[in-house]
Amino acid sequence: MNSSISKKGIFTLLASAIFAFTAPAVSLANVKNPGLLVHAADDEATTLDPAQVEPGEGGETIILQVYDRLLDIDPYSPNLIPSLAVEVPTIANGGISSDGLTYTFKLREGVTFHDGSAFTADDVKFSWDRAMEMDLPEGNAGALSDVVASTEVVDDFTFRATLSEPVADFLNSVVVAMVSSVVSQDAVEANGGIEAGVPNEFMAGNMVGTGPYKFVVWNRNENVQLEVNDSYWGENAKLDVRIEIGGDPDVRVLGLRAGEFDTIETDPSFVADLEGADGVTIYTGGLLLEPLHIGFNLNIPEGSLPDGDTIPEDFFHDPRIRQAFNHAFHYEAFLNGPLAGYGAFNPHYTPIGIFGHDPSASVYSKQNYAEAERLFKEAGVWDEGFSVSVITEEGNLFALMCLVLKDSIEKLNPKFRINVLAVAEAVFDDAHAQNPLEYAMWAKNADPAADPNFYMQAYQHPDGEWGEVHGFANGYKDADKIAELIDAAAVELNSNKRAALYKELNEILYNDPMWLIGAQEGVVMAHRDWLKGFVQNPLWPRPSLKFSLFDK
């Protein structure tokens, strides 16, 4: 090596340094990336197949853009609007039979898939049957197969579904769900067809739909690119889309401020980082339909609790202890700290923003140490104290909720100890999927749904998903009554009567809580001012955006 080489090296370094100073000197006043919408998402998709996607998972939002369903949700209201079906079936227009069992959809004509093939009723039947036949454990096929008894092609543009029993929320919960998306029969059959219980590799990584966007490429862990479908049956989208995946929340915030991203997914704790930023609008409308909650396990297998837990297995069988936890939690701290004030408290278990939520229902929203102390004393655990672990995913709001719980309980009585086990997502999923569950408490959020029946079934019914795992029957003061009310509300077609049933449940469950609901998280999105037509509807899968409505 001689000096001329190193001088060249220094020159190269200098040159690139100078370049770095001059190259990005693009004025921020101009719209960056014209014609392209760059969205920074926080979660990677695991599949793009509607039959495989899990509700709440990152792939859902891409499916929302590329595939159509028979019906859709209006961008500006919770109402249903036609999509591939030309009208919303009602009893009045003959779309729903009077017994509530048969739904007939008149379909749109002249629609083509992105591969050019024509859309007919066969595709609808094929898509629904496909999901039910594949019945992938990770997917949401159950939403269809639980209620749909049969599907039928009446003619090329009429599709009929028959239910096994009347379901009040069939259109709202099933027809608009991502699992009901219409895929191209030709494309699936040309690429592996249907095999029960086995994911279709082509469909997991490719999309052939009818939606306003065509799928271009998925660079795993990097980005997903979509392009405008020029022959869309509805109004064409204006911007191509690139969805940037992952990255730190902080990077998304910085990228938005720098104009590299047009919209970002963020959470309330980042509002402070965005306030006052040039050219950035913070959208804080509404609430997510995924209340943050901590579960009490009433079905702990003997001797399975982590080392250090001193509670007996039947600890949470006592409603007073569950109530005491609910009273002790520092709701204000959680709302004003981690949630930066964006959130609210919902009754057990009807989230704010869906049918059945009654603002006058009793709700835990204030820390009440006196009441908590009284209940803990009554239950006989005050003097001796206890130590209990709560398991959660690390690095997110769930972990923070657990820390608030820890501080709340430990400050109430120093003899009480809460160990927060914040573990990797997969480890948590593993622990969380066990039945019976080997932890006394865990923290996560609820799955989103459009109807109270889902929440009541999944989170409160003694024979429901969690009722079974957590052994609610071991703890409810009157389990039969609760089961009866939930079952009655599920099939009640009169909405006033239905609402009254949920109100009654709210009151019973306030005094016999099976959860500690930390808060219902506020929706926080941020976008560049140059983005026009921004709208967000929490009933769409998270982040609840339809890119085809935007322009810049």
Partner 1 sequence: MQLRDYILRRLMVLPFLIIGVSIVVFTLTRVGGSPIGIYLSHEMTPDEVLEIEQRFGLDKPVWVQYLQWAKGVLSGDFGWSGISAAPVADVFPLKLAATMELAAASGLVALFLGIFLGTFAGARRNRAPDHITRIVAVSGASLPQFWFGILLLIVFWANLGIAPIGRSDATVFASINHPTGLYTLDAILAGSLRAFWDAIWHLMLPAITLGYGATAIIARMMRSALVEELQQDYIDAARAKGLAEKLVLKKHARRNALVPTITVIGLTFGFLLQGTITVEIIYRWPGLGRWMAASVVRGDQGTLMTYVLFTSVLFLIVNLIVDVVYANLDRRVTLGK
Partner 2 sequence: MWFMQTWIEELLLENKMNERAFDNSHYNGDTAFRVRIRRFGALVGRLCANPTTVIGLIIIGLMMAMAIFAPWITEANVPDPYQMPRDWGAVRKPPGTPGFLLGTTNEGGDVFYGVVWGSRTSLQLSLYVVGSTMIIGTIIGSLAGLLGGWVDEFLMRLVDVFLSIPELIFALAIAAVLGPSFTNIIIALSMVIWVKYARIMRAQVLQVKQNEYVEAAKVIGDTKLNIYLKDILPNAVTPVTVQATLDMGNVVLIGATLSFIGLSEAGIAEWGVLVSEGQAGIASGRWWASTFPGMMIFLWALAFNLVGDGLRDALDPRTEGR
Q: Does 280 bind partner 2 (CB under 8 A)?
A: no
φ/ψ region of 81 (left if φ > 0, alpha if ψ in -120 to 50, else beta) reads beta
DSSP 175: I
Contact track, partner 1, 449-468, x by CB under 8 A = ----------------x---
Residue number with CB closer to partner 1 (62 or 111): 62
Contact between 16 and partner 1 per CB under 8 A: yes
Q: Is 164 in the site for partner 2 (CB under 8 A)?
A: no
333 binds partner 2 (CB under 8 A): yes
20's contact among partner 2, partner 1, none, with CB below 5 to 8 A by partner kind, is partner 1
Min dist CB 227 to partner 1, Å, is 12
Nearer to partner 1, 74 or 465 (CB): 465
Q: In what order do the strands lie in the sheet with 148-155?
A: 102-106, 158-163, 148-155
Contact 154, 104 (CB under 8 A): yes
Rounded to 10 deg, the angle between the 319-328 and 397-412 helix axes is 100
Token readout for 471 is 């052994």
Residues whose CB is less than 8 angstroms from the CB of residue 527 and which lie 6 or more positions away in sequence, other chains included? 256, 262, 263, 264, 280, 281, 283, 534
Q: What is d(CA 181, CA 229) in angstroms, rounded to the nearest whole number? A: 17
Residues 228-267 that bind partner 1 (CB under 8 A): 242, 246-248, 251, 254-255, 257-258
The residue among 225 and 365 lying less far from partner 2, judged by its C-beta, is 365
Q: Is residue 245 a contact point for partner 2 (CB under 8 A)?
A: no
Quick one: tokens of 551? Answer: 């322009």
Q: Site for partner 2 (CB under 8 A): how many residues?
A: 37
CB of 522 to partner 1, least distance (A): 24
Are the C-beta atoms of 111 and 84 separated by less than 8 Å? yes
* CA–CA gap between residue 233 and residue 79 (Å, rounded): 21
Contact residues for 201 (Cβ-Cβ < 8 A; gap 6+)? 192
Q: Between vectors from CA 337 to CA 334 and to CA 343, what angle results, nearest 5°?
A: 60
The reply to whether 275 sits near partner 1 by the rule CB under 8 A is no
List CB contacts of 116: < 8 A, sequence separation 6 or more.
none
Q: With binding defined as CB under 8 A, does residue 17 bind partner 1?
A: yes
Residue 123: name the closest of 70, 184, 175 by CA. Answer: 184
16: partner contacted, choices partner 2, partner 1, none (Cβ within 5-8 A by kind) = partner 1
Task: Report the run of H or E that residue 327 belongs to, with start and end.
Answer: helix 319-328
Nearest to 451 by CA among 524, 347, 349, 343: 349
Taking the least distance from each CB to partner 2, the nearer of 17 and 426 is 426
Q: Binding to partner 1 by residue 220, rule CB under 8 A? A: yes
- State yes or no: residue 306 binds partner 2 (CB under 8 A): no
Q: Site for partner 2 (CB under 8 A): which residue of 139, 259, 338, 353?
A: 338
Residues that bind partner 1 (CB under 8 A): 1-3, 6, 9-10, 13, 16-17, 19-21, 23-24, 33, 44-47, 54, 137-138, 142, 197-198, 204-205, 219-223, 242, 246-248, 251, 254-255, 257-258, 394-395, 423-433, 435, 444, 447, 465
Question: Could you list the residues that contact partner 2 (CB under 8 A)?
Answer: 248-250, 253-254, 257, 269-270, 272-275, 277, 330, 333-334, 336-338, 394-395, 399-400, 402-404, 406-407, 410, 414, 417, 420-424, 427
